[in-house]
Structure 1
Amino acid sequence: MMAILFNHENNFKNYLMYGKRQYMKQKNVVYEQGDIGEGFYYLDSGLIKVHTSTPLGKERVLNIVLPGQLLGVQAMDQQAHFTTATTVKDSVLYYFSYDDFKTLITLHPPILNLITKSIIQKMHILAEQINLHTLTTEQQIAAVLLNIYHDFKNYEIPLTQKDLATCTGLTRITVYKTLKKWKEKKLIDSKNKRFLIKNPDLLKNYLFHS
């Protein structure tokens, strides 16, 4: 359940000169399920949700992309996107075409390893999400938090309850009640517009066995 964030990835800012800056308003589609990919994106600011449609046409959120993360890498070599990415807030992205990518790895070879890890992680996300089939509302929230936790390699997640509700499509009341229950169980805590995951293993067990 991940979209990759640069701890090393914050260093990706050093390579933004190779990409093309794009500003997108809230609720704009970055790429759509079925579109042929010809590059990837780095999110500099804003918030993006990655989602797909169920056979019944219901939206299913697979991931939330935060500033410092890449998206679309798994389809950059003219493969079809198996998800849709939509801006939740006004966002600034940098687009790297496949040619830009080739230039980048020629000049900076270590980037290739970084991108490869990102693709592997994204495929792992998809496999886990498929295995989860229909998620309860609580499992949806757990999945999103664990996804970001794994990306950041950090127990603190820079996301508000409002962001979480907007991205998942759940009501703020539902999100509030779920998080309140988890706080009481000492699974998570929150402070200064951040969630603190106190026990990721227990939260993951909750996701797969609740």
Structure 2
Amino acid sequence: MKRIARKEVVYLAGDRADTLYRLESGLVRIVELLPDGRTLTLRHVLPGDFFGEEALEGKRYRYAAEAMTEAVVRGYDPRGMGHEELQQVARNLARQMRRMQAYEAHLQSGELRARIARYLLFLADTPASYRDERGLYVTASHEEIADATASTRESVSKILSDLRYEGLIVTAYRKVYLLNVKALEQEAQGVLEAA
């Protein structure tokens, strides 16, 4: 088991893929660095999920894996895994594929405002959500929200400012408090499922 700090990279694109990982706790995202320098979030890895599946083929990792929260990962040598364990990995990857398809629909449908609302609601059902005396909040920077909604940091900042002005959210350093979940759900026009 290995503890990973927020923003720490588990592996980079191009690294030799000799380890299959399972997320024990926290939230990890799989990202691609685009030629123009932007980062695109391809999928989110939830506790219990396997990632680094390129290790099953003995190839190099195609994308990078980065912790969005403090996380704990367990590494496996796929060559030492039995039939039962590999079936568990296949079932888990199939569930992740369904989530990825929903996520792809999220990126391709609706205005940016709806996509941001959907993403905030998605994060509220993951280990990136917390509660304190002010209420429910998610931990995500403007840049991470932009990466996850195929947008720019500036556009995200503008929309978060609008949502804040309308009383739907309050922002703090890497925190977005969800003050009016019902209104955000209306903005989202359907919630992106976490499971």
The two structures have a TM-score, normalised by structure 2, of: 0.57
Cα deviation for residue 91 of structure 1 reads: 2.1
The letter for the 2-side match of 1:87 is A
Query: Does the residue aligned with 1:142 lie in a helix, a strand or coil?
Result: helix
Q: Is there any run of 5+ residues in structure 1 with no aligned partner, and where?
A: 1-20, 150-155, 189-197, 206-210
Supply the distance in 1 between the matched residues of 2:17 and 2:187 (Cα, whole angstroms): 33
Higher relative contact order (CA 8 A, sep 6+): 1
Cα deviation for residue 95 of structure 1 reads: 0.8
Match of 1:186 among 178, 182, 191: 182
Q: Which moved more, 1:158-167 or 1:76-85?
A: 158-167
2:8 counterpart of 1:28: yes
Question: Is 2:117–2:188's contact at 8 Å kept on the other side of the alignment?
Answer: no
Residue 165 of structure 1: aligned partner:
141
2:94 counterpart of 1:94: no
Supply the distance in 2 between the matched residues of 1:39 and 1:204 (Cα, whole angstroms): 33
Supply the distance in 2 between the matched residues of 1:68 and 1:203 (Cα, whole angstroms): 25
The verdict on how the C-alpha distance between 1:88 and 1:172 changes in structure 2, with shifts beyond 3 A counting, is farther
- Where in structure 2 are the equivalents of 1:61-210 lying within 5 Å? 61-73=41-53, 75-100=55-80, 102-103=81-82, 105-106=83-84, 108=85, 110-118=87-95, 120-121=97-98, 124=101, 128=104, 132=108, 136=112, 139-140=115-116, 142-143=118-119, 145-146=121-122, 156-158=125-127, 159-160=129-130, 161-165=137-141, 167-168=144-145, 175=160, 177-178=162-163, 180=168, 186=182, 188=184, 202-203=189-190
Q: More helix per residue: 1 or 2? A: 1
2:21 counterpart of 1:41: yes
Aligned pairs, how many? Answer: 164
Question: Is 1:25–1:90's contact at 8 Å kept on the other side of the alignment?
Answer: yes
CA-based RMSD: 4.3
Question: Is 1:74–1:119's contact at 8 Å kept on the other side of the alignment?
Answer: no
Cα deviation for residue 124 of structure 1 reads: 3.8
Cα deviation for residue 114 of structure 1 reads: 1.4
Supply the distance in 1 between the matched residues of 2:72 and 2:141 (Cα, whole angstroms): 21
Q: Is there any run of 5+ residues in structure 2 with no aligned partner, and where?
A: 131-136, 147-152, 170-177
Alignment deviations for residues 97-140 of structure 1 (CA, whole Å, 9 cap, x no partner): 2123x33x35x5752541451464476478x37x749x846525
Q: Identity over the aligned pairs, expressed in percent?
A: 17
